Amino acid sequence: MPAVPDLIVPLVSKRRARAQLFQKLQHVLPAGVLLMHGLDRLQTGADAASLVLGAAEAGASALVIATFVRSLRRRRAALGVN
């Protein structure tokens, strides 16, 4: 008897994709607060350590927000929404 070839069928779940989107949203909301705090620290920072910390806060939160926006765009492209 010939061997049966393996067949891989990807399962696409809109429910799972939506749940992952909400998990990312849980990180984006605090990132917005951290961004505002970092920008405030940059504006009112008196010493070098405060400025470095403010830049790190703003940079990290901007990165989180940017990756969330990127995932939203990819999701919309996958769904075929213009």
Per-residue confidence in pLDDT tens, the chain, 82 aa: 667 778 887 777 888 888 888 999 999 999 999 999 999 999 997 899 999 999 999 999 999 999 999 998 988 887 766 5
Asked whether residue 34 is domain-assigned, the answer is yes
Residue 15 lies in a domain: no
Q: Is residue 11 in a domain?
A: no
Q: In this structure, is residue 14 part of a structural domain?
A: no
Q: What is the pTM of this model?
A: 0.74
- Domain limits at 28? 21-79
Residue 2 forms part of a structural domain:
no
Contact 38, 54 (CB under 8 A): yes
- Residue with the two structure tokens 């990290």: 60
